[in-house]
Amino acid sequence: MNPSWTYLLIAIAAEVAATSALKASDSFTRVVPSTITVIGYGLAFYLLALALKTIPVGIAYAVWSGAGIVAIAIIGYFVFGQALDLAAMIGIGLILAGVLVLNVFSSAGGH
């Protein structure tokens, strides 16, 4: 695997962790989740910048945001007890399908 894709995957994981910690930070009133949020976003953007050296920005951002949306929705459901109705699940499925199409079928991804 191209190192840039590894950077992007780790960046997505860091962003998802940071966003989850942001919810747990209670508007930055809790120190540990707030610290995780700041460090996680910093790491995520640094790794995204590394990934953008070889992955086109449109593709990288589509994968970043799509994967992040899906992961955060799943975490919101299981960890924070947030409901997902049928429309939300269909929308998330479409986002996931778009990310898969970009990565599997598009030559724009630089694979």
Going residue by residue through the chain, which has 111 residues, state the pLDDT in tens, using 9 for 90 and above. 789 999 999 999 999 999 999 999 999 999 999 999 999 999 999 999 999 999 999 889 989 999 999 999 999 999 999 999 999 999 999 998 988 888 788 776 555
Q: Which helix (H) or strand (E) holds 66?
A: helix 57-78
Predicted pLDDT at 58: 87
Predicted pLDDT at 89: 93
Predicted pLDDT at 111: 52
Q: Are 107 and 100 in contact (CB under 8 A)?
A: no
Pull the structure tokens for residue 40. 């996680």
Instruction: Look at the chain and report how many structural domains it folds into.
Output: 1
Predicted pLDDT at 60: 92
Whole-Å CA distances, 102 to 35, 36, 107, 109: 34, 31, 8, 7
Q: What is the pTM of this model?
A: 0.87
Q: Which amino acid is at 19?
A: T
Predicted pLDDT at 110: 55
Domain range for 94 is 3-109
CA pair distance 24, 98, nearest whole angstrom? 29
CA pair distance 16, 36, nearest whole angstrom? 11
